Every structure is written in C-alpha cells, then in structure tokens.
Amino acid sequence: MTTSGVQVVASANITWDPSNLPTAELRGWTPFVALQSRYNMLERTPESDLVPMADAFDLAVVAWGPLAEGRLTGKYLEGGQGRLRDDAAEGIFQHSWSGPDETVDLVVRIAGDIGCTPAQVALAWLAARRGNIIPLLGATSVSQLDENLAAAGMHLDDDQLRVLDKASAPSLGFPHDLLQRENVTNGTYGDQWRLVDDRRTKHRLSTHL
C-alpha cells in the first residue's frame, strides 16, 4: 500500500499453512508481520508450530494471557480471587483452571530471591524467549499495569531461565520431542550445526514494527 488502507497485517489464534505467508510478498501485497497466540509459562504448546513458524517468517508473536489468568502471579496459592474459577458454568469462556502448582511455586520463589513480583518474573521469562515475543497485558488496575510494565527492565540470568524452562517444559509431540534429542539433531545436521550462522533477514520486523 502506498497511500492509504491496510499498512500491516496480522492474525490471531490460527493454525498455519506455510505456503500462504510468502504469497503476499511475492505478489507485492502488504505482508503479515505478526500473529497473536495464547502463550505463557503454563501454556507453551505454541512452541510446537506457531512460534517456530513466526521465527522462520520474521513475525512478531503477540502473546495473550501471559499470566495465565493470574495463576502466574501466585495469588491463588494464598486463596486470592480473580478470573480463575473452578465452578465456571458451561459456556463461560475460560482458559485456565486450577492444576499442579510446581511451576507457579518456582516463579514465586525466584521472585522472592531477586526482589520482584511473580508477575514480573513470568513476563521477563516470556520476553526472553527466542524471537520477537510481545506480551499482551490485561491489567485491571493502574497498579497492575505499573507492575507489569516494570518487567520491561528486568533480565533473568541464564540459571534462572534454565530452571524455569525445565520446570515448565511441555511435551510438543512427534516429531518435535524426537528432534530435540541431541543425538538425533547431530545425526541429522552433523555435530557442527551450532556453528551455522542464521542469516535470515530481520528487515521486515524493523521496518513494520
């Protein structure tokens, strides 16, 4: 587009057909620049296809539900109230339910160790993921918004990220779980694959976002 109309294109909650994404650029149309997907430490299944697809096509990932309806704030561990309801009636749109809290406990513990809030740890973890991940905040008060925005200046160290990654690691299913094994990767690409530079352009991200 050179005058008016659609300047950027994005999509939400999709599965993907890799043949469609390059079509816009091949035809000189406005390209896709982002996708929106539910993505947080308790919901990492987008890592099976959507996040790698976004990385391959230089798309930003706008991650909604980054705090899993407040579960990653730790407030429900102490009986707090919020959008999480185990008694939700049929038909009510709800994405998180009570469940094992080992990952949440770990987030709370790391927050205490480094002097921040659990929400800030969860958002900093998400921002540190590979690619261009943009947490979509859903604050219900000014204080929550201020707390969440403060996470932009936080950086978890490698050990903290490694512990959180391990605790929250999902099963991505076949063939992803198989290809994550080092012996399979080395057998497929050779033992020098880590030395290969990723020369894919990031021009689209810097131009359109």
pLDDT tens digit sequence for 46-99: 888 888 888 888 889 999 999 998 889 988 787 666 665 555 454 444 455 555
Tell me, yes or no, whether 206 lies in a domain: no
Contacts with 126 (C-beta within 8 Å, 6 or more apart), sequence order: 39, 40, 41, 63, 66, 133, 135
H-run or E-run covering 184: helix 182-189
198 domain-assigned: no
Q: What is the CATH number of the domain that holds 19?
A: 3.20.20.100
Q: Confirm whether 204 is domain-assigned.
A: no
Which DSSP state fits 43? B
Residue 152 belongs to some domain of the structure: yes
- Model confidence at 166, pLDDT cuts 50, 70, 90, reads very high
Q: pLDDT tens, 116-159?
A: 999 999 999 999 998 889 999 988 889 999 999 999 988 999 99
Report the number of distinct structural domains present in the chain. Answer: 1
Which pair of tokens denotes residue 108? 């709370």
Task: Confirm whether 50 is domain-assigned.
Answer: yes
Asked if residue 89 is part of any domain, the answer here is: no
Q: Coil, strand, or helix at residue 144?
A: helix
pLDDT of residue 208: 37
Q: pLDDT value at position 191?
A: 77
Residue 159, domain extent: 9-79+95-189
> ∠89-171-155 over CA atoms, to 5°?
90
Please state the pTM of the whole predicted model.
0.71
Asked if residue 194 belongs to a domain, the reply is: no
Cβ proximity of 59 and 87 under 8 Å: no
In a domain, 201, yes or no: no
